[in-house]
Structure 1
Amino acid sequence: MDTAGEIEEGSPRVEEDKIFVAVGKEVKESKSTLSWALKNSGGRKICIFHVHVPAQMIPMLGGKFPANQVNKQEVMAYRELERKKMHDALNEYRNICLRAGVRAETIDIEMDNIEEGIVELITQRRIKKLVMGAAADKYSKKLTDLKSKKAIFVREKAHVSCHIWFVCKELLIYTRQGNLEGSEPASPIRVTGQAEILRSSCPPSPRGQKNYVKLSNPVQDLIRRVSSGSSRRRITSVFSPEATAVIGTAPPIQLAGEEISSGCEESRISRRSTSRLSEASTWSASDVHGTLESISTVKDEGSEEGTALYSVYGSIENLHFSSPPNELFLEELPKDDIYYQLEQAMVEAESSRREAYEESLRRRKAEKHALEAIRKAKASQSLYEEEKKQREELEVFLWKEKQELEMLKIQRDQVMEELRVTLDHRSKLESQIADSDQMVSELEDKFRSAMQLLVEIKKERDELMTERDNVVREAEELRKTREEVATSSHRPQFFSQFSFLEIDRATGSFDPSMKIGDGGYGIVYRGTLRQTPVAIKMLHADNLEGRVEFQQEVDVLSRVRHPNLVTLIGACPEAWALIYEYLPNGSLEDRLACKDGTPPLSWQTRIRIAVEVCSALIFLYSNKPHSIIHGDLKPANILLDANFVTKLGDFGISRLIHSTESSNPSMFCYKTSPKGTFAYMDPEFRATRELTSKSDVYSFGIIVLRLLTGRPAMGIVNEVQYALEKGNLNAVLDASAGNWPYLQAEQLAHLALSCSEMSRKNRPNLEAEVWRVLEPMGACWGALSFSRLASGEHCRVPSYFICPILQEIMRDPHVAADGFTYEAEGLRAWLDSGHDTSPMTNLKLDHLSLIPNHALRSAIQEWLEQP
């Protein structure tokens, strides 16, 4: 019976002992995944792999462009930079493993899609264990399923044999179990021999049933045992312990884990002989030789058990068999010889088993070396392909460089031709220049002569200009002197000089009880000079600014007169003293604060004060030939006489600006250091150091707000503005002033807020805008103010009963074109003296007609008739 055996090698070994970890290009995002794999690797090898997706958008010139629209060299350079960054990231991952005491491998591939690259790598490498990210940064404690599209794709598309752990932030989120049945196993070594023929020819015995069979040929039994052991890559005992006891009884036999049924064995043995004795104890030489042929066949196929089977073959060949058929083998050979031969076979089989085991170890080592060689060959092939690709790219680059070089050569030839033409042209120009040099020398001689003449003419012109400037300066000084003389001749001077002795007597040797004020530049005393009550302001002699203030007030108040300006009676230069008219009601600041228990001002009086302050400011701005900016307007510098008539004072830091400097009073500007009270000071004046008439407008707005509310100046603008926005102006009006008329109060509030704008250009003009609002109020509420003054405010003469010119109670009041009321006799004398301007505002009158004020005349008569 022919028993040929064959051995087939399987496919390459699957990556079962390694754990593959999929990582991204950002180390900080995939570090947690790698850390989890290191903690749970159980000592297995770690292989880090990354799917690199080449960039399709190339950054250039501040933007990004598709790769097919960009120069190939630039695309290659950018992608090479990307690969360098990728390798740096893989090195960093490898360093993390080294710090954890694990040596890791790295694999990277390039594909257009990350998840498809992972699936492709699983299939190529036959990966059995994989760790990858699950949900990126969307992890939460309630997360129980995959959220990442890449993870879902890999879970569904990866080969079923791969066991995948999905991790997020070092926590296991999901596990996909690997299905070994669905995997593609490596092809096992198949041995086809007599044992497999037996299994195929006999029906399988029922599970759990043990049937034993006696073999007629012990040598064939030995061969079956060796062949069966080799098919499972292991060597089993050739004979059981009972084999040496009874030669006629064979032990139970198993082939590849299956027991051979006795019926099958008996049917096979019966075909050899009709005698039961021969079935149990005889075996012919042909059977032995057939068995030996099968052994030699297995050895020739190059299986790892060939050496063992060859030993068995050599042992059995030493046996001698009788060939006559139908004779008992046991009768021809002595039993001792049989036992001896069997023992020899057992020893040789054991030796063969050891040799087969050693051979299997060598074979496995050879297989390992072969796989390593294959891997290195593949790596070398990959490097070769990469080198080939780079070489092709370099050839393309060199070809382009050659093209550019050819273009440069062509351009060089063109430039050389242009240079030749230029040189020819240059030679012609040089000849022309040589001709021109002589002409230039002649022209230079003429030019020098002309320059000498020009210098002489310029010198003569400068002398004439100097003479002209001197004449103009003298003419200007004469004109100013003439104007000042003319102005002084039309304005009476009430300025007198007093001696220090008179000042000392008037103040009782500067008795402290006579002190009525103490300012930053001096002390104010009350006294009597030449039978007239006066206020004496003593400036600090050691203060330079006090001296400047002294001269400034003398210059201003000696030039102007107005009913609402404090009257300067005289001065004492010896003591640096200024003598003013005495105003018994003090300052507006004192009256708003109800100092010394004085009653609060009525709302009519407050409106009149605002009108009079505005009138005084307009007069100062329109003064000729010098306009005046007060610069320190505040309630403390607004004084009230016995009839509560406003008197604007303290011109120590005021400035005189010649009218020729600007035709518009609102454009007057003077550079100086900021002085005055912070709450009333123009914000732009503090920032730019430019004092203008709009600076006084800002201060006037704050004063009007104080007249309305009676509150402190700091923050008053925001309070009134908030009340107007909420429609609750009554909440901020000073209730002690009486029942304010709401419409007039609201109109005054809006006017004051516009004057208090932070920007100068947003503030109104006093004459053109503010006076148009205040003038009707003064005319409307004037009579009421007079009656209230007569009844409730010390019964003094109302100021509107007094003529601004004569300073007496009017008997025949008339209204002029400026809107003010004057005594008819005094106003006609003013007009007859050649004036065509208002005595109050110093502005030109529209007409010289006078209108009788019968209402005011009746009010004066009623007041005079009161007991």
Structure 2
Amino acid sequence: MNMVMVNPEPLYVAVSKDLKENKLNLIWAIQNSGTKRICILHVHVPPTLIPFMGAKYLPGSLKEQEDRAYQEFERQNMHKTLDDYLLICQRMGVQAEKLHIEMDSIEKGILELISQYNIQMLVMGAASDKNYSRRMMDLRSKKAIYVCEQAPASCHLWFICKGHLIQTREHSLDEGNVEAASPLVQKVPNSEAEHSLHLRSHSHALVQNHGANLTNPGQELFRRVKSANDGHGGSILDVSFQDDTEGYSSPCNQMGVEVCRDESNGLSKRSPSGLSTCPGSTAVEPALTPNLITEGGRMNDTLYDQHEQPKGEAENATRNAYRETFRREKAEKDFMDTIHMAKASGSLYLDELDLRKLAEEELAKEIEELDNIKSQRDKVKEELQLAHNQKSSLESQISSSELMIKELEQKIISAVDLLQSYKNDRDELQIQRDSALREAEELRGKRGETLRMHVSQLFSEFSFSEIEEATSNFNPSLKIGEGGYGSIFKGILHHTEVAIKLLHPNSMQGPLEFQQEVDVLSKIRHPNLITLIGACPETCTLVYEYLPNGSLEDRLACKDNTPPLSWQTRIRIAAELCSALIFLHSSKPHSIVHGDLKPSNILLDSNLISKLSDFGICHILSLHDISSNNTTLFKRADPTGTFAYMDPQFLSSGELTPKSDVYSFGIILLRLLTGRQALGITEEVKYALDTGKLNSLLDPLAGDWPFVKAEQLTRLALRCCEMNRKSRPDLHSDVWRTLEPMRVSSGGTNSFGLCSERHYQPPYFICPIFQEVMQDPHVAADGFTYEAEAIRGWLDSGHDTSPMTNSRLTHHNLVPNHALRSSIQDWLQAR
């Protein structure tokens, strides 16, 4: 029978975008399709994530143009893959076309295409190629299972895996189309269904041959009855027989008796007379009986005997045919059981081969491990032999060592005696050292007096009348600050803006504090320490450089509606303050502790560069202040300063150390972060940090704080505010190494607080004549400061007027400005 049925409908093959995975399935469909057309069916699933710039984004999260471009790129790749499938069909000489749809679900897209195009035949994958095995009989793909369950009954489905037919789902058609219903299955060679069909056709053919043999006795009987009927003048009734020789379907014999089979055991149902009957069968005996009766009403014995003999032969032949059919069906069943047993035996044989292969691999591993153990055993033997040799060598060394011990004992006894004599010499030298230290301390005190006399020449002394003139007789409108020490006025001194600190008669600070601030600020220079220009000793008045942006306290409070400080500026101010404290604490020969560190004592210049001021109550620590049990510098003093910023351990013990400034620095750092008041700020910040609410506590006026930096600064500040001073971090090795990288990454200034990009130059550093930074500044009679070479050249050329005011100069004497010269040198060095 021809296995390929001509059908105008194409054979649809569902493929994915993986050409390698579906190539074998497509080739199987082409080889088993005969002359049919092939239609490549594909469901395009839009991507759920779009890769862009090294990351993946959800559709719609990027710009519309970028999203649309990537979607179009995916569609072009889909068409390219489908064209590759069509190329395979073209190379195999098959006419092919492609059909695709875009949906979020592949299985639902396949069902939509089946419904939309009324697909009758579809080939799709049963599972991925990596899941294929020779014993695979079920679908393992969720998509295949879904399509098999939900596809219309009119669609015939073939499920393929790695070029092998796994399962078929036939459609429901009319009886006239049964032969064309499953052409692909009919072409599968050596299948069980084809073999079973062959056996059944062979059995039915045998039954038909038996039925053909039975027609001869019936025809002979018909001939004899016909001649008897003719001899009796036609009084005997005619008998008609049905000659069915076209096929065997039930099966039936040629006398019209149909065979009815029981499907459970293959046995035939029999009538009481011994003949098999079926519904709709023709009864022979009633039709013949009237012809066997003569006209006189008697039975014709001859005809009856002639009738009974072929009847019995026919019944025997029919009975033998039934037995032969039953025997052949039993043989067919036994044959199928044998095939199944052979398949099971083959599967068991393959499993046994796999087990044997595993056993051989395990045996090889054990042999390899045994060889390793043997090699390790040989190595241990060698090491053991070496250990024995070392043992004998050590025993000989021990015997020689015992002799050496005895000799050393004698030497130790003599060394103890020598040590005792050395101890006596040491005590004598200790006494000499103490006396030398006392003499050195006396010399150091004398040297300090000399140094103070020399330092007093490094800044200018002003008369009280000059101070009054500079402040317009202390005009209240020029007052820029007020504190417990007195008042601060803005003034013009020698044509330079200055800040004048006037000590109040009832101030907490007296002449000692005034002298200490003069001594400290006249000896040290740092870009983040306020510059002392001069002093008026008779009224305890100090003259500083003028800083127009006021104090850090004013800027945190946005006084006079000034703009708030950004978080970058706050980090830079913290780094500058840390640099100034490191400079003070490491000052030689004596360490300096500020003792009153707070935002109101931190001033800001026109570029918001911080300057630490108010050294009236600072403390100088010397070697005499080292404790007896450690090397920590401390000084016993009465607690002074602002309570909220004071070291709690200093308040309780009266011992002031550099770590006391670290505590105050931690409080200032917390204020820079939060903008809140100092009292109780540590507990508030700790609670916010522990509960994960730090972001709500940061000062919003500073801008959008980087949370990682803010959290790192917060933890650093809390460490600085530890109650136990030993738990506080070191400014140089810990705090500075944290703040400096933050300042650099935030785009701040350099480590000296100077603007690295603009190289800011204070205007009073510039010579009015040369318009350059002065190297040797001198003050002329007009009160202006000039470069010495420039003003001398002006005067030597015959001029007797001021280069700035064009007024006549009262004299030609020039006074060196030591304070300004020192500031310029520090600035140049920092730059």
Q: Does TM, normalized by the shorter one, top 0.5?
A: no
| Bigger CA radius of gyration | 1
Instruction: Give the TM-score of the pair, scaled to structure 1.
Output: 0.36
Instruction: Give the TM-score of the pair, scaled to structure 2.
Output: 0.38
